[in-house]
Structure 1
Amino acid sequence: MNQKNILILGANGFIGQALQDKLNNENYIYCLDYTYTNEKKESNSKYQVKLDITKEEDVVKFSQYLEKNNIQIDAIVNLVGINTMSSFYNITDQDWDRTFDLNVKSYVFFLKAIYSSFAKQVAIVNVASQNGIVGHEERIAYGPSKAALIQLTRNLSIDFLKDRSRDIKINSVSPSYIKNESNESYLNSVEGKKLLQKIPYKKFVSISDVVNVITFLISSESDAIRGQNIVVDYGYTII
């Protein structure tokens, strides 16, 4: 992989941090996350930016930074999302709007804001979820928002064909339950073991499983894959 300018949205989560480690040696990474306390240059290959994708002033400021410094973006990984735990019976207007605003709407307009800084060839990966494919309790807003992100990926793949000056490849990745530090105790519990029995291959997805698919989709090795949703779930969604 040749050196690229890569944006990671939601870079401070467990997937984002692992992805930084995977890409750090060969690329310049712009790590965007609302949880950062300030903006700083971590190294010669990484720049942290405090950015809330739902705030127009943050997005405008970053797009102006890209234009001012003549930075051409080669790849974007979208890890931003909120998982609201709610059902039909307790969902509120505020929770519904907040979920779709962050998981879908704000991302669309972020892409529009930085579009002028797209390179001639761009790879975009959206991280969706198995909940955008199959039904699940307590995911009345989250599941549909991730299904919308998957469909958005398809529609953008077609729309981007209108710009003949660029080759924009966009795909999505839908992971199953990802074992990490925050849920390891639950997945090892009795309830977690019951959950494991629903998975045909009796394995939980690892962080590296997801990161490996993302890096493949960024690379030129996946050039023929366009507008697709790659499911990483050890078979959870096939039964």
Structure 2
Amino acid sequence: MDHLLEQGLLVPEGRVQAAGPRLGRDGATVAVAYARDEAAADEVVERIRKDGGRAFALRAELGRHGDAASLWAAFDARAEAHAPGGAVDIIVNKAGIGRSSDLASLTEEGFDEVFAVNVRAPFFIVQQGLRRLRDGGRIVNISSGAARLAMPEIIAYGATKGALDTFTLNLAKELGPRGITVNSVAPGVIDTDVNAGWLRGNPEAEAQAASLAALGRVGRPEDVADIVAFLASDDARWVTGRVIDATGGSGL
């Protein structure tokens, strides 16, 4: 198994995290960070272990000053038992919250919150994680198709993902001398628990979402997880500073 898949840190928000199980099957020891839903994190860990992988959960609520330091402190406290040396090969910045607000209705508080979780947290997680990240490592940031498609109804969310893509570009340049690749993955509409309220059990909504993609269906978590796994592998050693579209061809 490639050395880049020895230890990974998955930093997620939301319930279904397909990237963790996929990386676990590929041989990574996966640290699953969660904000509040401990049961969901434990579910991901158990799924990875049932597939023969290694994983552990750690609590780290993002969106406040000091959140990155708290996450890494929690990691350091538990990593030695699971991965001697506490070094990291892969960081997947999956954390993200959305605000279904347009320009007229978005409050300053809502704006600050979405940028704190979607932009500031990944920035400082990487900044403070670099001394743990091995040379030749991987950073994968989960962006969104909303960064390139005009969606005024979620204007602040789209802006955060555009900022994340710029962060990816600059990190790739800065960390290239260490052999570390940095890429973004930009999904479209994905059938996750985050979208369950308006998507599942609503044939009209599902048909509308599917019509956005050239491939004619709603995305599944595994569609994104497999791309993340590729970028985390040695097969992607010559890919860096890129935004990989994972929308199924939305907006073509």
TM exceeding 0.5: yes
Further displaced range: 62-71 or 94-103: 62-71
1:209 aligns with 2:223: yes
Indicate the residue corresponding to 2:240 in structure 1: 226
**1:53–1:110: 8 Å Cα contact kept in structure 2?**
no
Q: What does residue range 186-205 of structure 1 map to in structure 2 within 5 Å?
A: 186=199, 188-205=202-219
Indicate the residue corresponding to 2:22 in structure 1: 22
Write 1 or 2 for the structure with the bigger share of helix: 2
**1:133–1:237: 8 Å Cα contact kept in structure 2?**
no
Identity %: 21
Indicate the residue corresponding to 1:97 in structure 2: 112
**1:11–1:31: 8 Å Cα contact kept in structure 2?**
no
**1:53–1:107: 8 Å Cα contact kept in structure 2?**
no
Q: Give the secondary structure class of the aligned counterpart of 2:155.
A: coil
Indicate the residue corresponding to 1:33 in structure 2: 34
* Structure 2 unpaired stretches of 5+: none
Cα deviation 1:184-204 (Å, max 9, x = unaligned): 873642243234333323122
* TM-score scaled by length of structure 1: 0.86
Distance 1:198 1:47 in 2: 37
Q: Give the secondary structure class of the aligned counterpart of 1:134.
A: coil
Aligned length: 233
**2:189–2:209: 8 Å Cα contact kept in structure 1?**
no
Further displaced range: 149-158 or 67-76: 67-76
Indicate the residue corresponding to 1:4 in structure 2: 6
Cα deviation 1:142-165 (Å, max 9, x = unaligned): 01111111111001111223xx4x
Q: Give the secondary structure class of the aligned counterpart of 2:8.
A: strand
Distance 1:130 1:226 in 2: 19
1:183 aligns with 2:184: no
Q: Give the secondary structure class of the aligned counterpart of 1:179.
A: coil
Indicate the residue corresponding to 1:142 in structure 2: 157
Indicate the residue corresponding to 1:13 in structure 2: 15
Distance 1:197 1:59 in 2: 39
**1:82–1:103: 8 Å Cα contact kept in structure 2?**
yes
Q: Give the secondary structure class of the aligned counterpart of 2:154.
A: coil
Indicate the residue corresponding to 1:155 in structure 2: 170
Indicate the residue corresponding to 1:45 in structure 2: 54
Indicate the residue corresponding to 2:69 in structure 1: 60
* TM-score scaled by length of structure 2: 0.82
* Structure 1 unpaired stretches of 5+: none
One-letter amino acid of the counterpart of residue 178, structure 1 = I
1:169 aligns with 2:181: yes
Distance 1:92 1:12 in 2: 23
* Structure 1 residues 74 and 88: CA distance shift in structure 2, 3 A: same
Distance 2:67 2:210 in 1: 41
Aligned-pair RMSD on alpha carbons?
2.6
Deviation at 1:10? 0.8
* Structure 1 residues 55 and 47: CA distance shift in structure 2, 3 A: farther
Bigger relative CO (Cα 8 Å, ≥ 6 apart) = 2
Deviation at 1:58? 4.9
Q: Give the secondary structure class of the aligned counterpart of 1:80.
A: coil
One-letter amino acid of the counterpart of residue 69, structure 2 = V
One-letter amino acid of the counterpart of residue 138, structure 1 = E
**1:33–1:51: 8 Å Cα contact kept in structure 2?**
yes
* Structure 1 residues 111 and 174: CA distance shift in structure 2, 3 A: same
